[in-house]
Amino acid sequence: MNKVVNDFSIIVGTKNGSGSSTANNTILRAIFKMGIPVSGKNLFPSNIQGLPTWYSIRASKDGYLGRRDKQDIVIAINPDSFTRDLASVSPGGAFFYADDIRLPITRADIAIYPMPIKELVKKDPNVPTDYRDLVGNMVYVGVLAHMIGIDIEKIQAALTFHFKGKQKPIDMNFHAVQAGMEWAKTNLEKKDPFYLEPMNKTEGMIMADGNTAAAIGSVFGGAQFVAWYPITPASSLAEAINDYMPMLRKREDGKHTYAVVQAEDELAAIGMTVGAGWSGLRSMTSTSGPGLSLMTEFAGLAYYAEVPIVIWDVQRIGPSTGLPTRTSQADLSFTIGMGHGDSDSIVLLPGDVFECFAFGWQAFDIAERMQAPVFVLSDLDMGMNQWMSKPFEYPKTPMDRGKILWEKDLEEIKGNWGRYLDKDSDGIPYRTLPGNKHPMSAYFTRGTGHDEYAKYTEDSSTFIRNMERLKKKYETAKKYLPKPVLHSTKGAKVGIIAYGSTESAILEARDQLARDHGMKIDILRVRAFPFTAEVDEFVREHEQTYVVEMNRDGQLHQLLSLANPEAATRLISVAYGDGLPASAKWIREGILEKSAKAKPAKKIAVKKSTARKSSVKKSKKKGAK
Amino acid sequence: MSALPMAGVPANVNTVGLTKNDYRGAPTTLCAGCGHNSISNQIIAAMYEMSVLPENVIKFSGIGCSSKSPTYFMNRSFGFNSLHGRMPSIATGAHFGDHSLKGIGVSGDGDTASIGMGQFKHVMRRNLNMVYIIENNGVYGLTKGQFSATAERGLELKKQGTNPYMPVDICMEALISNATFIARSFAGNAKQVKELIKAAFAHNGIAVLDIISPCVTFNNQDNAHYSYAWGKDHEEPLHDITYIAPRNEIVLEREMAEGEVREVAMHDGSVIILKNLEKGYDPTNRFEALRALEEAQRNNWLTTGLIYVSTEKPALAETYNLVDTPLNRLTDADLRPAPEMIDKVNALMF
């Protein structure tokens, strides 16, 4: 048997709310500390306790952090998902299971390892009865550690980190790990090919989730006001702001330079955010699709009233019940048109945890510079899962507060200013803030009906003038937006355009397509909407461009086609959204399938009509039977 | 303390050196005879008499006839005419920009008791430092005469037929949502409206003023609750109310010597004096307040005056322990953590 080293997946099937996350994080962190690139994804149901849940860990010597479709090692702790878990193991894989589950083992093509979890925990006098299930999870950590070679010292480091140095829980859990290891040493014989060996590929890197990164980035961006309403998968973003604000913005007098308000709903959350942005605060909210739709009216008002706010949308699947805890990239079209009447949205598209941090502070600069709402689209996979990342970088530029006039500024211009006057010919007017004591500072804010001096009017030509200025402002925005990221391959005539969390899986798919099919592919990851010139150039320079995204309808593909109508026939949609994080497999297969179809474009159109005829014939025959 | 006007200041100028004109807004575009205009005028008078600097006030409103009115008073104050039913949230956020400013929010019965009921109730429990005026006429004016949620059951309107539902009592809703100042008045009673506005302005927290303000165009039949005729006939004042600014305290107290009086001290040292008419009404007693509202409902009374006040609860900004400097004047140095903190944060990640 050939050894498989540092390149496999581990899937743990447990019950939601059974406390297995400590165990799974311990495995993840220990592998990371061994210097092996690793990622961890929680595939969980919408449930507090009891339903099956899976944690997927991937070790990848090549640094691929996307989800791996193959299930190499499966650990089954949950009787309810046992049969399904057993069936899911890839041929040649390994199956660890809690031996109190007495269900038939029907596979001969994999290594099978029973684990006496309950028995071992019962034996330990230091584990109180009600902690047995929790600590029991650590037994499989120990068994697995022995079988695949997880460094015991790194496990201890992971536990010390997790329990913040508190010795009692560290010891209790560590003993269970040791018990599992000892038992495996004397009772199990290695029959699978999977091994971990130390590397040095994680040195200087950190592990974090995107929501935490976004929260800390926002704090470094000087966030002053956060209003939010709980919704999966965005809640942990606002909660992380609550966690980090006290430490990062601590003052000697103990007073606060910020306020975080849990609102009564998303309508109020964004209403408060708009109010605070209007009065001059770095103001933000965070939500997910259903909450975003409730925020629409205010987002439209903020566009017309020109109020800077930041809205984080951690995307998930659709409304109501069903798959709300599954990832998605299906809010893009909605966000672009969010509002009513003519409306343009500025959208930032972070691709990883590092960018969640960076866009956390940059979004405020862009919003205040542009006096407009800025949407930041993350997703559940990026926001809630653990990713290896470069360490966060301190902002390189000072805060850009945009065009604001205070008392002394108004004194200099003798109070002669207009809230919506395009003085600098860039579409961006000047604003004053409540609390300004200059008698000429105040203005009255409304939606659409105002002239350059904020006076009420319904005059058509004034309205048109204002609309044209807003369009000009949107053009100006392009120069403040992050440029796309290009991964180029020499001699590539085919391209991929994508955004967000799919990048890692796309890079893996590109390497597989090059290795197995000789395809040379350039990748452009867009990071903002409106698209900048680089995106149009990329589309023009490639014979075919596959637009890869996690949704059904190919929203990014539609937007790119609209932006480049003359090149639309060269844009091919590879869209797929099943709620699971992107994997190289569906991207690779999607591209192969589409590329086979795409080549004889004209001929297909002719064949289509004949095909339709023949299918009619067939159905007639069926009917005759 | 002197009660005399400051030496050398013309009589038509208040103590911050402004004339009444400095408190005016744009000419009204509401119907002639609309109760809302009378309320705007009382706001102007109250602010002028209290010598409030217009720059220290922010005006807010939602959507509707009432919500248009902030345009018609205090041009020198910032204002935000926001979305239907969403004035409380805009005001809440804006308040954090500079918490030394006082909000005056104007809403209507549709804006508050229908589409905005949720935000209305929640701004009560947050105790935002704002005067929340509801210009209540039981009807939708801007959309031409539909029933509002405060319209009484059985009311007949031209195109709508008969109202089949029970009305919402805004003061009762405010009370059970833990509002800290609740008053009701009638637009036709200008003096009471003005005194209540003054008292509400002096209150540190949310101050609800439910002002019955008849719609002359769509709901002014003599038998309708929100008509001038009905209001005048059924008004049942709890007490006479006089607001006394801190600087005038001593002098006016002497003038108020007669009769049964109850003083309510506000945070800024000012006092409201209630002269009881029929009942020994205690507006600091929440249980009494609820009883008075229930009684009014049963008897078809329009009970006016200060229904409830509590000065014990902290206003919203105090709950958040903010720095004294308005948040919107803080700079990079206050807001961005020091460079060395980035290493500390990275060390906290795994």
Indicate if the pLDDT at residue A600 is higher than 90.
Answer: no
Q: HSE (CB half, 13 Å, CA atoms) of A463?
A: 11
CATH class of A485-602: alpha beta
- pLDDT computed for residue A348 by the predictor: 98
B78, B97, B119 member nearest A276 (Cβ) = B97
* A167 CB burial (10 A radius; 0-12, 13-18, 19+): exposed
Indicate if the pLDDT at residue A144 is higher than 70.
Answer: yes
Q: Which residues of A touch B119 (CB under 8 A)?
A: 264, 267-268, 271
Indicate if the pLDDT at residue A603 is higher than 60.
Answer: no
Indicate if the pLDDT at residue B183 is higher than 70.
Answer: yes
Mean pLDDT in residue range B84-88: 98
Mean pLDDT in residue range A224-252: 97
Does ipTM exceed 0.85? yes
B301 touches chain A (CB under 8 A): no
In angstroms, the CA A115 to CA A273 distance is 52
pLDDT band at B279 (very low <50, low <70, confident <90, very high): low
Indicate if the pLDDT at residue A290 is higher than 60.
Answer: yes
Phi, psi of B319 (to 5 degrees): -60, -30
- Cα A160–chain centre separation: 28
In angstroms, the CA A70 to CA A89 distance is 8
In angstroms, the CA A35 to CA A496 distance is 31
DSSP state of A61: T
Phi, psi of A95 (to 5 degrees): -130, 115
Residue A110's nearest CA partner among A129, A125, A97, A127 is A97
**Please, what are the domains in chain B?**
20-325 (3.40.50.970)
> What is the identity of the amino acid at A140?
Y
Tens digits of per-residue pLDDT, A20-34? 899 999 999 999 999
A44 touches chain B (CB under 8 A): no
> What is the identity of the amino acid at A315?
Q
The CATH architecture of the domain made up of A4-203 is 3-Layer(aba) Sandwich (3.40)
Tens digits of per-residue pLDDT, A345-364? 999 999 999 999 999 999 99
Indicate if the pLDDT at residue A493 is higher than 80.
Answer: yes
Answer yes or no: same fold for A4-203 and A208-389.
no
Indicate if the pLDDT at residue A255 is higher than 70.
Answer: yes
- pLDDT computed for residue A322 by the predictor: 85
Q: CA A602 → CA A338, A544, A590, A592, distances in Å? A: 37, 15, 21, 19
Q: CA B331 → CA A217, B56, B98, B101, B335, distances in Å? A: 17, 22, 14, 20, 6
Would you state the structure tokens that stand for residue A525, as one six-digit string? 């990851």
Q: Which residues of B touch A437 (CB under 8 A)?
A: 53, 55
A207 touches chain B (CB under 8 A): yes
Q: Which of residues 182-201 of A touch B (CB under 8 A)?
A: none
DSSP state of B211: E
Report how many Cβ contacts below 8 Å link chain A to chain B: 210
Tens digits of per-residue pLDDT, B143-179? 778 888 998 888 888 888 899 999 999 999 999 999 9
- pLDDT computed for residue B274 by the predictor: 63
Q: Which of residues 405-434 of A touch B (CB under 8 A)?
A: 432-434
The residue extents of the domains of chain A are 4-203, 208-389, 407-480, 485-602
Coil, strand or helix: which one is B140?
strand
A261 touches chain B (CB under 8 A): yes
Mean pLDDT in residue range B229-255: 67
- pLDDT computed for residue B156 by the predictor: 85
Q: Which of residues 312-341 of B touch A (CB under 8 A)?
A: 320-324, 326-330, 332, 334-337, 339, 341
User: According to CATH, what is the number of the domain A208-389?
Assistant: 3.40.50.970
Phi, psi of B154 (to 5 degrees): 90, -5
Q: HSE (CB half, 13 Å, CA atoms) of A252?
A: 0
Q: Which of residues 52-91 of B touch A (CB under 8 A)?
A: 53-55, 58-59, 70-71, 75-83, 86, 88-91
Residue A214 Cα, gap to closest chain B Cα (Å)? 13
pLDDT band at B282 (very low <50, low <70, confident <90, very high): confident
- To the nearest 10 degrees (0 to 180), the angle between helices A167-187 and A132-148 is 50
In angstroms, the CA B309 to CA B296 distance is 18
Query: What proportion of chain A, given as a percentage, has pLDDT over 70?
Result: 96
**How are strands ordered across the β-sheet holding B239-244?**
B239-244, B271-276, B261-265
Lowest mean pLDDT of A88-102, A596-610, B19-33, name the range: A596-610
Q: Which residues of A touch B337 (CB under 8 A)?
A: 219-220, 248-249
Instruction: State chain A's mean pLDDT as an integer.
Output: 93
B199 touches chain A (CB under 8 A): no
Indicate if the pLDDT at residue B296 is higher than 70.
Answer: yes
